[in-house]
Amino acid sequence: AESGCHASHEVTVVKDITVPTVKITGNQVIDCLTGEITLTADATNAASYLWSNGSTESSITVSEGGKYSVTVTAESGCHASHEVTVVKDVTVPTLTLSTSGELNCETDKVTLSAISNGSVEWFLGETSIGSGLSIEVAQEGIYSAVALLEATGCTATQTIEVILDLTPFIVTLPS
């Protein structure tokens, strides 16, 4: 200015370009044992979360298979995303039962057999009486077999009845 005085002011403008990072963590397989799983957005510099299902929390619980993604946004407005595929495997084991016959005056034991792609446990009522694809029994009643598919934790149950037939045999002798 004309008075010879000068004034100045310096301003430093800093642009915040902090970039967040995110990775979805947690088990990504749903089976008969888990039923549902929790997916967590493991993030740095995240001010907000937005999941593909609309949730704005850092974790979500899911019970269906499919693709799930999360986008995290930093205070700077920068964002990062991550996506995972959740697999739902609730494959049930196959199970078919058969019996070698019925109990009667001549047969005091019968064999119950199972055809299954899982491990089989046998029950009479609520009592476990053995395991394996076949079992020998000497008592009438309703037997059940429970097959377990280890890979999924899923089970299948079937029942079979063992009958006791005490109808007397009629023997005709030649005269």
Edge to edge, what strands does the sheet with 29-30 contain? 29-30, 79-88, 66-73, 48-51
Query: pLDDT at position 154, please?
Result: 97
In this model, does residue 170 exceed pLDDT 80? no
Give 116 or 168, the one with higher predicted confidence: 116
Answer whether 166's CB lies under 8 Å from 104's CB. yes
Mean pLDDT, all residues of the chain:
93
Summarised one tens digit per residue, pLDDT across range 44-88 is: 999 999 999 999 999 999 999 999 999 999 999 999 999 999 999
Residues 154-164 have a mean pLDDT of 97
Summarised one tens digit per residue, pLDDT across range 127-139 is: 999 999 999 999 9
Residues 82-100 have a mean pLDDT of 97
Q: What is the Cα–Cα distance from 29 to 86, expressed in whole angstroms?
A: 6
